[in-house]
Amino acid sequence: MSRAATEHRIGYAASSAAALELINDARSAPLKRLPPADLTPERFRARNWWQGSDLCVVDDYDLVATSPNRLLPLAEPLPQARDIGPHLVMSRAMGGVGRAMYDPVIQRTKDMASPAVILSGNKDEGFLFGNVRPHPLPPGRGYFVDRKYGARLTQAAFLLPTPVPETG
């Protein structure tokens, strides 16, 4: 079975080259959702002038955001995300993340004071989001950083999958 064969995925790309078409589709949809000139304040608040998905997830950002960065087109609609639906959720390896903070897509999310989760890492990576510098932490523990509360130490839980009963 393909990794993209689930009801929640509309696409899957394992490399930056394969991601190009998905990225272009992901970028064009929110741009078509920009509010029309005759939009009333009520409809604007209700967000009912468009339909579609609200999320874009990028796993292993460090592998996909190569030169040229294929995800750069996604940075443009991010400031209007609350109104037009693109919400970028990224993960990347901790190694080299301090240098990656100057990547244009990451810089845009940081400039917007987007929430971030900083897990275990090397303190030499420097301050990442807010005043959080990574350091060694137990598995699942990290700092949730947002503009309202700052940095809060959190623990993620892991539930073992429920075994599927055998039929026979």
Same domain, 88 and 126: no
Same domain, 123 and 60: no
Same domain, 9 and 85: yes
With a cut of 80, say whether residue 51 has pLDDT above it: no
Q: What pLDDT is attached to residue 134? A: 95
Tokens 């990347």 belong to residue: 92
Distance CA(136)–CA(123), nearest Å, equals 8
Tokens representing 109 are: 């999310």
| pLDDT tens, position by position, 71-121 | 787 787 788 877 777 778 889 999 999 988 888 888 988 888 889 999 999
User: Average pLDDT of 156-160?
Assistant: 85
Residue 46 belongs to domain spanning? 1-114
DSSP secondary-structure letter at 123?
G
What are the φ and ψ backbone dihedral angles of 141, each rounded to 5 degrees? -95, 140
- The share of the chain scoring above pLDDT 90, in percent, equals 26
Q: CB of 123 within 8 A of CB of 94?
A: no
Is this structure's pTM higher than 0.75? no
Distance of CA 129 to the CA centre of its chain: 14
